[in-house]
Amino acid sequence: MMIKKFPNNPLITPAMVKPSAPDLEVMCAFNAGATVRNGETLLLVRVAERPIPQQGYVSTAIMDPEDPTAYRTLRIRRKDPKLDFSDPRVFTYDGVLYLTSISHLRLARSRDGRHFTVDEKPAMRPELPTETYGIEDPRITFIDGWYYINYSAISLQGVTTALARTRNFAKFERLGTMFAPDNKDIALFPERIRKRYYCFHRPSMKHIGAPSMWLASSDNLLDWGHHRLILGPRPGKWDSERVGCGAQPLKTPDGWLTIYHASDEKTRYQAGAVLLDLKEPWRVLARSRRPVLSPDRPYENEGLMPGVVFHNGLADRGDGIVDLYYGAADTTVCGATMKVGEVLASLKRDR
């Protein structure tokens, strides 16, 4: 098989992660960005926490704007007529939308890329007004001596995309907002093309159109323009409802190879492959007709959101073998090995 799942999946479960505060519990550990540093595989795991439940109440934690190192707890009686709790991920109270959890980023380490230890404290936690509902779904790209981390920042202001960087994963420097609301699923290319940086992004569509992959470029990683539509949903197929990028693209002799995620109308998330031109990355050379990664294991079909594989972490081993790290059922971190040559060959057949 082109992509083979690790036999020891899931790699990281909520039970392996220590809560960041004694009155919180870890609901999910998933959607990890990945990189390799000094022979060690590093994951930045999205850790979703909530206040320890009380019977008869719905609760959530929100960053305290007066003290960014602390959370405030909101509890609402389930029988309150102002409460709408039809979605397990969010609820609405008195017309205001809240998430049922708040997310931060936690570092996990491995020497073999298969067995991980998770740090006891957050690597990055919400700090800014744009992050009061949490920070989510990081991607990591190494460029010019820095590990750049882009992530979704969630607040009542909307979903923005923020950028940070680090040299050692001990100290993180926040650089600012890349894209205004609502935009997410960003992945940076690992090198400049014609002296410009490139990234994928996915604007939300609220009036017309469908969530799709776009390409933008920049000369400083913060001011983005020259937007081009790359991939959209395909009606009647496995990627018919929404499309977004996975981790950073891989440079190959044939083009930029990208593993993307997509869902259908039943919110079943799978992954596909697309090949882009090396010098003109807005040109699609080939796109997989069938998924290359699907939720077919119990750990991918049992959890907060059953039927979901969401890839946003990639570790290039440098020998034509790449490890993909993905969230399963919005609950755990899993991994798979990809043979780059076999994926490229399958795309050539699909042209």
Give the pLDDT confidence of 300-334 residue by residue, as tens digits. 999 999 999 999 999 998 889 999 999 999 999 99
Supply the pLDDT for residue 350: 76
The residues with which 8 forms a beta bridge, in sequence order, are none
Q: Report pLDDT for 87.
A: 82
> What is the mean predicted confidence (pLDDT) over 210-230?
96
**What single string gives the DSSP state of each residue in 173-186?**
EEEEEEEPSSEEEE
CB 63 within 8 A of CB 13: no
**Whether residue 1 has pLDDT greater than 70:** no
Q: Which residues of 162-193 are buried (b: 16+ CB within 10 A; e: fewer)?
A: bbbbbeebeebeebebbbebbbbbbbbbbeeb
Average pLDDT, stretch 17-25? 95
Report d(CA 81, CA 141) in Å as an integer: 46
Q: What is the DSSP letter of 347?
A: H
Alpha carbons 106 and 122: distance in angstroms, whole number: 5
Q: Which CATH architecture has domain 3-350?
A: 5 Propeller (2.115)
SS3 content of the chain, % helix, strand, coil (to 5): 5, 55, 40
- The β-bridge relationship of strands 146-155 and 158-166 is antiparallel
Q: How far apart are CA 306 and CA 295, in angstroms?
A: 9
Q: How far apart are CA 183 and CA 240, in angstroms?
A: 19
| Tally of helices (H runs) and strands (E runs) in the chain | 2, 26
Closest by alpha carbon to 99, among 66, 120, 71? 71
Q: Tell me how crowded residue 201 is: count the other CB atoms within 10 A of its CB.
A: 22
> Which one, of 193, 194, 195, 213, lies nearest residue 203 by Cα?
213
What number is the average pLDDT over the span 41-50? 98
Q: How many CB atoms lie within 10 A of CB 75?
A: 12
Instruction: Provide the whole-model pTM.
Output: 0.95
Q: Is 147 in a helix, a strand, or coil?
A: strand
pLDDT band at 209 (very low <50, low <70, confident <90, very high): confident
Query: Which conformational region is residue 139 in: left (phi greater than 0), alpha (psi within -120 to 50 degrees), or beta?
Result: beta
315: β partners: 323
For residue 269, the model assigns a pLDDT of 98
Mean pLDDT value across residues 111-120: 98
Q: Whole-angstrom Cα distance, residue 111 to residue 42?
A: 9
- Judged against a pLDDT cut of 90, whether residue 349 lies above it is answered with no
- Residue 271 · residue 292 · CB < 8 Å: yes
Question: How far is Cα 47 from Cα 120, in angstroms, rounded to an integer?
Answer: 12
Q: Which residues contact 87 (CB under 8 A, 6 or more apart)?
A: none
239-275 pLDDT, tens digit per residue, is 999 999 999 999 999 999 999 999 999 999 999 999 9
Q: How many CB atoms lie within 10 A of CB 121?
A: 10
- Rounded to whole angstroms, the Cα distance separating 201 from 161 reads 9
Site of tokens 């397990």:
88
Instruction: Spell 10-23 as b/e; 16+ CB within 10 A means b.
Output: bbbbbebbeebeee
Q: Are 191 and 197 in contact (CB under 8 A)?
A: no
Q: What is the pLDDT of residues 50-88, one digit of tens each?
A: 999 999 999 999 998 788 778 999 999 999 999 998 887
